[in-house]
Amino acid sequence: MKKIPIPEEKIYELSKKYPTPFYIYDEKGIIDSLKSLQNAFNWCNYKEYFAVKATPTPYILRKLKENNCGMDCSSMTELILSERVGAVGENILFTSNNTPMEEYKKALELKAIINFDDINHIQKLKRLYSLPEIGSIRYTPEKAYGTGIIGNPKEAKFGVPYNRLIEGYELLKQEGIKKFGLHAMIISNTLDINIIARNTELIFEAALKISKKLNINFSFIDIGGGFGIPYHPQEKEINLEELSIRIKDLYFEYFIKNNMKPRIFTENGRYITGPHGYLITKVLYIKESYKIYAGVDANMSSLMRPAIYGAYHHISVLGKSKTKKVRKYDVVGSLCENNDKFAINRELPELEEEDILIIHDVGAHGHSMGFNYNGKLRPAEFIYDGKEFKMIRRAETIDDYFSTIQGGDIYV
């Protein structure tokens, strides 16, 4: 059984003060996860760049920045968001794909590190604006490991194969670039350190081969993110210490032995915020049909991972952790879609209307993937600082929903 580090009575009080559904985040847990990464890789010149797409909430981003975390961005809005929380220059990694030139322009203005997704972008960017000080390209190895979520590298729209890497760095050299980086993002949400280590070796191997072939030194190697979290109660956390030792050994073999000392970057989102976010929702109805349905006031528009990925999120019931009587439920929302389900055939303490459910591990790719189908409105977000809750994003309102509509007589 997963436990939440926030006192149940405080969650209950919050649910009486503000309408459910809403998100809550544990601030200490988020910072502790960041520090775990930083401590594990303290043997090298390391920097973590938080994947802004995971939790683009300014309060959280600012707290991460205050703890020496950079921002990994992939869009104009994420660049501006990072700028507004005080991250500029090499505190921003911009790794986009199919990138509009105006987004590159903004990244240049912020002096961000740019990872080119395609070498054809290089000359176009130079022609329209200029090139960044550091030349970095995204690499997608042909035979990567553990790519179930991201997909077969040969089918991936991200990055370039090795032969295109060579062409790209040759071009950057011709354009007068003196500093270089190499980026790869190959996997997502794995707890298997063997997979991470094997992919890291592919990246290091490519960096060394390019260095020798083109006589360039890499300022940094970005091994990406994808460090997973234990969504199921029986799963164990990733062994960061052992993973760090594996990567350290590879670093020595590929770089130290060749008189190279590139910085190491990662860009995790889920690992930092995922376990420390919770969606709080209320049971509205219990419906007995071919199955028993627990209808809640959250829905797929509040958290879409179970519907689109079949993702598991643990669910607990406020005040019923010791209840022995259980039943199987499908926990469902109210959207006009049959996949609007948070759990299927899930054993839970016997539920009643007004029960408060806690959906766990939603701190990444939860609120950020919200949408407005059926006119549903995105929920509020709260941070727990160890003593009290603070609202860090209010819930959307009907006026917000209509605010972008132009013309017609809707307001008449």
Query: What positions carry a catalytic annotation?
Result: 336
Contact 321, 300 (CB under 8 A): no
- List the end-to-end C-alpha distance of the chain, in Å, as a whole number: 53
In whole angstroms, how large is the CA radius of gyration of the chain? 23
317's enclosing H/E stretch is: strand 315-317
Look at strands 380-384 and 389-393 and give their pairing.
Answer: antiparallel
Amino acid in position 79: L
Residue that is written with structure tokens 């869009």 in the block: 75
| Separation CA 348–CA 132 (nearest Å) | 54
Tokens of 7: 């006192």
Nearest Cα to 28, choosing from 361, 305, 299, 387? 387
Tokens of 375: 């006119």
Q: What are phi and psi of 281, to 5 degrees?
A: -140, 155
